[in-house]
A and B are shown apart, each in its own frame.
Chain A
């Protein structure tokens, strides 16, 4: 039991580490393959190139640069911004925006799971027009839903103010101001678009059908015991699987949503850092995102193991 548990923990830790390494290596490769570098941003970049390449470590071969990055990260040094906020420690640049994005993603995860479960509970084993509606709503890509919502809302409100129907309402923040409305929109979009709601709903509906038809539910019914407790308990593992699957998707989608809705977060910073070829800032956000996905997967696994005794026995 103990050796198999240790093996499982080691396996999970290895997978977590591989996720971090894979994500950062992939982002670095993408940025290096894209034309241009931070020296190109300077008007006298051509003249300064040899000096700055040496100073910024851009003259080393890519594997050496990546190895150096990994060594630095191992000592919790995420490096220094070159172009986005030159000279500032990457940790200082990205931590606050990352926490804001984390809040949005966690809220979107919670929302997706909540209304996915509620819808699944309602539609499971029923013929209902709700299913195609969910499908149709969810088929809209994240970027399109974000654009359509923000443009539509702004146009309607500006028109209403312009024609004198309403004064500028308190809930309508102009695009440069922090806005609860845009934050709520971002959470709804993340939890709905690009198939998010449909997939969550479909997975949970399938799990619910399976659970409701299970022999232990029949047994509970026969005993006159409350069925919902058994259903809820057995729904937790599929919920955890869905949670783990959605986390990676949401971590990626938040970049688009923050950019379109002009929200200050890690996604918006990653966008700027990529444009400016600020390698350490982009890698820092990739590292945070990979860590988030890895942690969510570990949590999901932990929940499944805690709820399902068969998984504990299997090690």
Chain B
């Protein structure tokens, strides 16, 4: 159906806003400072990049019409759309692109997203609709990295943008929706950007903060919401049986793990790490919290970088006992004692808001205790977690989940100069450096698959699973396709009936 007819239909129906829930409302609506998924999701509705994913996750032009790569791959000319206007009616042009890249790069901006443009050495406005981008290294597919959001140059006096800039609650983008109000009760109301080059079918979107996740499914069932970004595993059956709700499975680039603190002398020994990994029955941990795929390394199985030749570690407590014995440990009165005679004890730390983590922690504690290892568990709030775990390394084992966007850059998690857990393997460092520098997609794929294999041998973590994720939407919402990371990338096509 032509888009105009869809718009007319939606307007005639008076369907109201599409209301979706977040556990915590975005604090800052400015892509330069997006630090949470709720911020990334709302940015997806308000802002656009030069390129974005199509349904096959290939990069297609959004603000860019096309890109022409120089023969030496060291620069590219980006031709911009001419029919784009900002939410305040100002025309979009090449100065906005140049400004955005400079603002991301500016050290005094202190953008959490600076890494997204670090590969661009210079951006020049050739004319109002053409930008020349020069790269640090040759780039084979720069469009895959040109997804970062573009900001309006005319709303800032300097490229050094502050996190506290009033823009954070009065953002102006080119996206399919514009912000109408950022309310005191932590709700955010958006309206369709009618002058968008391809207007959305939905007239309004509303973000509602529902801090208690236990109630989000109830709100959907009782029609106080139209969309849940992620359904808790225990709510799946209820929602599946509700005729007014449709579940949409989607694959996220997220995987769970138990990370070892290798600054701890005991855990610096790879044999001890492997033994602990073999003692953990991962399938038994997964069963109560949902369904998903086991992972054997730092990528999800659907990733091009996942090495399918590396199998997930099998639960083998007998082998674990052999390895610990070889490492000088002895099993005395039901407890493992180290070569120094001290009992093998682990402090397990988890973020308190990691959903369903409590079940996993209690079960792993029980598993390891039954095998002779005492586990003391602690749940921490985010600031405390970052301070204790990231900064001061006060943990032995942590349960955590890493989520990645399409770049799946694991450098910070595994490079000896990047990770906080003390993991250092020169071979992995070399592979990661080469993969990061590589601009050839095939070469990068081969390097990262090799990295996967190397890391799996070192056991810096117990790689657990990637959970099956489900979004739940009211059946009134039609034409729904959700993006695995940003969720709303294709929300322009969604419609909402009565």
Contact = CB atoms under 8 A, between A and B. Distances in A.
Interface of A: 34-38, 40-46, 48, 51-52, 80, 83-88, 96-97, 158, 161, 168, 174-178, 262, 264, 275-277
A175 B35 contact: no
A158 B217 CA distance: 12
Given A35-B384, A38-B383, A46-B390, A86 B208 contact: no
A275 B381 contact: yes
Given A43-B35, A96-B184, A37 B112 contact: no
Nearest to B224: A174
A34 B163 CA distance: 24
Interface string B140-165: 00000000000000000000001111
**Interface size band for B:** 35 or more
Nearest to A83: B27
Nearest to B352: A275
Given A41-B35, A175-B219, A277 B163 contact: no
Given A37-B387, A275-B383, A84 B27 contact: yes
B229 interface: no
Given A86-B164, A174-B215, A174-B219, A41 B386 contact: yes
A170 B252 CA distance: 39
B383 A40 contact: yes
B168 A87 contact: yes
Contacts of A175: 210, 212, 215, 218-219
Q: Which 10 interchain pairs have the tightest Cβ spacing?
A: A87-B164, A36-B383, A36-B387, A40-B386, A35-B387, A175-B215, A35-B384, A174-B224, A36-B384, A48-B110
Given A87-B168, A96-B184, A176-B21, A158 B35 contact: no
A73 B193 CA distance: 42
A309 B299 CA distance: 80
A168 B215 contact: no
A35 B35 contact: no
Contacts of A44: 110, 112, 114
A201 to B, nearest CB: 34
A51 B163 CA distance: 13
Contacts of B186: 264
Given A40-B386, A84-B27, A174 B218 contact: yes
27 contacts: A35-B383, A35-B387, A35-B392, A36-B386, A37-B383, A37-B387, A38-B383, A40-B386, A40-B390, A45-B386, A48-B110, A51-B110, A52-B110, A84-B27, A85-B27, A86-B27, A86-B168, A87-B168, A88-B169, A168-B222, A174-B215, A174-B218, A175-B210, A176-B224, A177-B224, A262-B212, A276-B382
Q: Which of A35, A46, A52, A175 has the most CB of B within 10 A?
A: A35
Contacts of A264: 184-186
Given A86-B28, A88-B164, A177-B224, 7 more contacts: A83-B27, A86-B27, A86-B164, A174-B218, A174-B219, A275-B381, A276-B383
Q: Which of B33, B110, B385 has the most CB of A within 10 A?
A: B110
A188 to B, nearest CB: 21
Nearest to A178: B185
Interface string B360-394: 00000000000000000000011111111011100
B454 to A, nearest CB: 25
Contact of A34 (B209, B384, B390): B384
A84 B388 CA distance: 21
Contact of B391 (A40, A275, A277): A40
B89 interface: no
A80 to B, nearest CB: 7
A37 B382 CA distance: 10
Given A174-B224, A175-B210, A177-B224, A43 B383 contact: no
B457 interface: no
A34 B381 CA distance: 11
A200 B108 CA distance: 57
Contacts of B185: 178, 264
Nearest to A268: B211
Q: Which of A34, A51, A176, A262 has the most CB of B within 10 A?
A: A176
A83 to B, nearest CB: 7
Contacts of A276: 382-383
Nearest to B385: A36
B383 A176 contact: no
Contacts of B211: 262
